[in-house]
Amino acid sequence: MHLRRNFSSSRLVRLLSDAASVDVDASRQDVAEKLGLWLGTLDTLQLHAAHQSIKAFAQETPAHARAATSHPLEEDVQRVRAALVQGITANGAAQAIDADAGYAPYRQRYLEQQRHIESKIASLRSHVRQILSRASPRLKQLAYLDTVMEQVIGGREQRLMGTVPVLLEKRYEQLRRAQDDGWQDTFRQAWQEVLLAEMAVRLQPVVGLMEAFSNEVKKSP
């Protein structure tokens, strides 16, 4: 299962820690410890039930396994990724905003981009899981576990991502007060880099599923 390994050292966290002057190392914890803080009793029971359920998949033989393993899944993922990057870099905060308008227009644009990224990646993740479910019993187990994990921690993740525009505002205010030449261009670049980093974090589960699929295909006769 591809969990967000080394999240505290991800580019998104580094960029936000720079923007908000946060010491990431000071709050670093073991991955299992951090995950444990996220999971309540009901979440733990749900994961336990999922673990019991996936055992039943081991003896199954998907009816369309051969067709599924021949699916160009990596191309699907790369196509969505490229479209998202294009949308961020071509539109995003590229248009100049009057300094008198403050941070509000940047926040609005960021939230719009967040919703678009979330929608596209959710559809892609569902598509990838469908392909895995038809490929092999082991990949069907993985797809089911990914579904459960998304249900268990998805809401918490969304709340955390909701704090990103707030942290970006701190960077905006720092640059605005400094009033260095080109400070708005500097902020727009930071805005774009953070959004690209967030997209990469959101894509990690999909990339993990894709890698598991690719490894399975290599083993197929």
Q: Is residue 69 part of a domain?
A: yes
State the DSSP string of 100-118: GG-SHHHHHHHHHHHHHHH
Q: Are 87 and 113 in contact (CB under 8 A)?
A: yes
Furthest CA-CA distance within the chain: 65
Q: Which two tokens stand for residue 54?
A: 């996936």
For position 136, what pLDDT does the model report? 86
Q: Is residue 1 part of a domain?
A: no
How crowded is residue 108: how many other Cβ atoms within 10 Å of its Cβ?
Answer: 11
Q: Is residue 166 part of a domain?
A: yes
Reported confidence tier of residue 27, pLDDT bands at 50, 70, 90: very low
Q: Is residue 2 part of a domain?
A: no
Q: Which of 114-128, 132-146, 197-211 is predicted with the least confidence, judged by mean pLDDT?
A: 132-146
Cα separation, 206 vs 210, in Å, equals 6
Q: Are 87 and 128 in contact (CB under 8 A)?
A: no
Domain count, the chain: 1
Q: Is residue 167 part of a domain?
A: yes
Share of the chain above pLDDT 90, in %: 40
Range of the domain at 71: 7-219
Q: Are 124 and 80 in contact (CB under 8 A)?
A: yes
Average pLDDT, the chain: 78
Q: Is residue 94 part of a domain?
A: yes
Give pLDDT tens digits for 124-160.
999 999 999 988 888 988 898 899 888 888 888 888 8
